[in-house]
Amino acid sequence: MTKYEFKIEPKEFKMVSEDGYPEDMTECIALFKMEDGIHYMIGAYSEDEKNFFVDYGYGGMSLDRKDVFAWAPIEPEQLKEVK
């Protein structure tokens, strides 16, 4: 299995309250708050479904966009293979 790493600077995050949601099918990291703190999900945004989602190939998960407070796009150039 190939492993990758990437870096995102805090200034790269878009606040939903100020910047809205990403364009349809944008690959991104989404930040959301739960009772035990702030969590993240890496996946894409679906404008049709109004959610962020990740597909593992055998199933996946989705997160209602109302639960996300910030997001940052992930570009392929940011991914570095870890050897």
Burial of 45 by CB count in 10 Å (0-12 exposed, 13-18 middle, 19+ buried)? buried
> Rounded to 5 degrees, what are φ and ψ at 21?
-100, 160
What distance in Å separates the CA atoms of residue 62 and residue 51, rounded to the nearest whole number?
Answer: 6
pLDDT band at 2 (very low <50, low <70, confident <90, very high): confident
pLDDT at 45: 97
pLDDT band at 1 (very low <50, low <70, confident <90, very high): confident
What distance in Å separates the CA atoms of residue 35 and residue 8, rounded to the nearest whole number?
Answer: 24
For the chain, the domain total comes to 1
pLDDT in tens, 9-47: 899 999 999 999 999 999 999 999 999 999 999 999 999
**Which domain range does residue 56 map to?**
3-82
Rounded to two decimals, the pTM is 0.84
